[in-house]
Amino acid sequence: MNAVFSVIEPLPAAIAPPGPWQPVVTGSAFTAGDQPDVVWQARLPEELGAAQAALHEAATRLRADEQALATVERRLLQVASGAVSFSTLMPQPEQTLLRLLATVDPASGASFGLRDEIQERWQAAQDQLAALSAQACEALGSYATVETIQGARLIGRTRINWHGDARSLLIADIDLAQAAIHRQTLALALRSRAALLRMVGLVGRGAAIAATMFTSPAGALLALPAVWQFVQEVLAEVRQSMVSST
């Protein structure tokens, strides 16, 4: 079996965090103080070597995403400073960013002269940004559950909050290799959660950088969806390069 990394969100919408995780939204109804945990679940092959290889590949993908995020601010500064100008030769994320920013009227906050495709992309970016903000608030304010499933067997479950308070439950006959697998899953989930929160700050700083291209004080607010789209495209660029190199 192939490994599957899922993050099960009790929200109506969610974006994929950095790393190998794919969101599964439940949209569960809950009352204040009774919010279910986010569940980070790794379903790994039963064979030990294959499980370890899957975790290694997942960690490699997360590391690539982290490195990509580290370049976002520098690339935005280059755009804002005029070091790069619109050209079909520039990377696709920069092309999309400049095109989206050019569609915004900073005086009124309205967009004009947009094709339907651009309008839809702008709205999608706004919706995703709202989902990201909700996930960040959730990560800071509630516990997360991390599960490791090897083959058909749940071998470890850890419940942990942002401050590091944790409690783990492991199968009675767990061996050292299986315990190591669960520790790796836990570390992977925590790094991805931290990277998700880092994305929120990055989008905010990026919007402030992009706002220097506007004359309106509302420039940073107007730039938020465009910068979020830029971050997503930078990550997609790195992931595509990883696929092409394999």
* The predicted structure's pLDDT at residue 115: 52
| Per-residue pLDDT tens over the stretch 197-208 | 999 899 989 888
Burial class (CB in 10 A: 0-12, 13-18, 19+), 113: exposed
- Quote the percentage of the chain above a pLDDT of 70: 83
Higher-confidence residue: 57 or 32? 57
Confidence of residue 210 (pLDDT cuts 50, 70, 90): confident
* The predicted structure's pLDDT at residue 108: 41
Question: Pick from 60, 49, 88, 72: which is nearest to 245 by CA?
Answer: 60
3-state DSSP assignment of residue 58: helix
Higher-confidence residue: 47 or 100? 47
Token pair recorded at residue 115: 């094709």
Query: 3-state SS string over 66-102?
Result: HHHHHHHHHHHHHHHCCCCCCCCCCCHHHHHHHHHHH
Burial class (CB in 10 A: 0-12, 13-18, 19+), 173: exposed
Confidence of residue 26 (pLDDT cuts 50, 70, 90): confident
| Per-residue pLDDT tens over the stretch 60-89 | 999 999 999 998 888 888 888 876 666 657
Q: Mean pLDDT, the chain, as a whole number?
A: 84
| Per-residue pLDDT tens over the stretch 155-209 | 999 999 888 899 999 999 999 999 999 999 999 999 999 999 999 899 989 888 8
Strand partners, 166: 160
| Whether the Cβ atoms of residue 170 and residue 50 lie closer than 8 Å to each other | no
pLDDT(96) > 70: yes
Return the amino acid letter for 218.
Answer: A
- What mean pLDDT do residues 100-120 have? 58
pLDDT(239) > 90: no
CA distances, 147 to each of 125, 164, 166, 176 (Å): 31, 16, 13, 17
* The predicted structure's pLDDT at residue 208: 86
* The predicted structure's pLDDT at residue 183: 97
68-93: b (≥16 Cβ within 10 Å) or e: bbeebeebbeebbeeebeeeeeeeeb
- Between CA 192 and CA 19 the distance in angstroms is 6
* The predicted structure's pLDDT at residue 88: 57
* The predicted structure's pLDDT at residue 245: 67
pLDDT(112) > 80: no
Question: Pick from 79, 110, 83, 111: which is nearest to 95 by CA?
Answer: 79
pLDDT(102) > 70: yes
- Between CA 206 and CA 67 the distance in angstroms is 16
Burial class (CB in 10 A: 0-12, 13-18, 19+), 137: exposed
pLDDT(90) > 90: no
pLDDT(30) > 60: no
Confidence of residue 45 (pLDDT cuts 50, 70, 90): very high
